[in-house]
Structure 1
Amino acid sequence: MNEQLLEQFESFNEFVKTIDDVTWITPISAGKWTVKEVISHLWNWDVYTLEVMLPQMKDQAEIPEFADHDTYNLIAVEKAKEFYDREALIRTFIETRTYLIDQFRMLDNPEMKFWIGNDKIPYSLDRYIEIFVHHDDHHKKQIEKLCEA
């Protein structure tokens, strides 16, 4: 497994600690999610990976398609409402992300290939993690841009 990729995935833990109270409740742009909702969204996909995808990741496995993104993202926004203080969600995010990374390390098998949905190209653990590293990066840039404004 690409350790640098995992470290990049893990680095979001440090980034999320730097978000202040004002930024936390600010939408990333007009009519969009607040930063809190974005972090809940990322956390919700980590939970999905832990509960749904990871248990099925075995060599030559055929894993069903990802959950409908729009529906699953609405669930994340609703879950954000359950966190009344910033520290609680940040702590939950970090604990979940750290546990997920530990699970990836335990599963590490460079030979493992699996398929998700109708995708014709097999996934490796690195390819799977890379999707979420890019996803983190997309939202990190949105938050950083908000902080620069």
Structure 2
Amino acid sequence: MSEVKSIIRHFNHYSSWLITLEEVDETLWFKPIADGKWSVSEIIAHIMNWDNYLLTEILPSVQNEKGMEFPDFGIHNQKASNYAKSGISQSKLLEEAKDTRELLVKELNELPIEKLKKPLTANGVTHCPHTGTPYSLIYIVKEFTDHDNHHQRQIIQFLRENSLFLKI
């Protein structure tokens, strides 16, 4: 399996992991995972909001061979938090998050590898300042996978501390 396909496959693991959250008690679903942190519902909405952004803004830009433009993170993330607190049910949010990720993965799998690997700018920057790697859509997908994994670990730790054990 190519490195690109492997990255997309790992990115898709999140969809199946969401199923493990279906039995989380509602009181834990809406409880902040720590002081000053988001709840599980807000984290799931946060990841889904970024998936939606990749689908609606980044993919079309990449397909038109334009650079990737990302919004102000704080404002974008606040929208996700507000959505999680809007009254959406746990099951509906999980369904939306799973469907959004699966659609994004489908779209990524349909792109030619050359498009996924093509160097592009991210907010006008050509290379990641941390790694020196040229930005490309597949690089961003790998970054998002790492971001997802960070949040999954937070959620798992929180649920373990509250006597709920999840499979990874």
Q: How does 1:114-129 map to 2 (within 5 A)?
A: 114-121=120-127, 122-129=134-141
| 1:125 shift after superposition | 2.7
Give the Cα separation in 1 of the matches to 2:159 and 2:40.
Answer: 11
1:117 maps to amino acid: N
Q: Percent identity?
A: 28
Q: How does 1:66-145 map to 2 (within 5 A)?
A: 66-110=70-114, 112-121=118-127, 122-145=134-157
Q: Is the 8 A contact 2:51 2:100 kept in 1?
A: yes
TM-score (structure 1 length as normaliser): 0.90
1:136 maps to amino acid: D
Report which stretch shifted further, 80-89 or 34-43: 80-89
Alignment partner, residue 130 of structure 2 = none
Could you say if the C-alpha distance between residues 109 and 28 of structure 1 is closer, same or farther in structure 2, counting changes exceeding 3 Å? same
Pairwise CA RMSD: 1.8
Give the Cα separation in 2 of the matches to 1:124 and 1:80.
Answer: 30
What do residues 104-136 of structure 1 show as CA deviations (whole Å, max 9, x unaligned)?
Answer: 111233352211123232323320101100110
| 1:57 shift after superposition | 0.4
Give the Cα separation in 2 of the matches to 1:30 and 1:100.
Answer: 32
Report which stretch shifted further, 6-15 or 96-105: 6-15
**Larger relative contact order (C-alpha < 8 A, sep ≥ 6)?**
1
| 1:61 shift after superposition | 2.7
Report which stretch shifted further, 86-95 or 12-21: 12-21
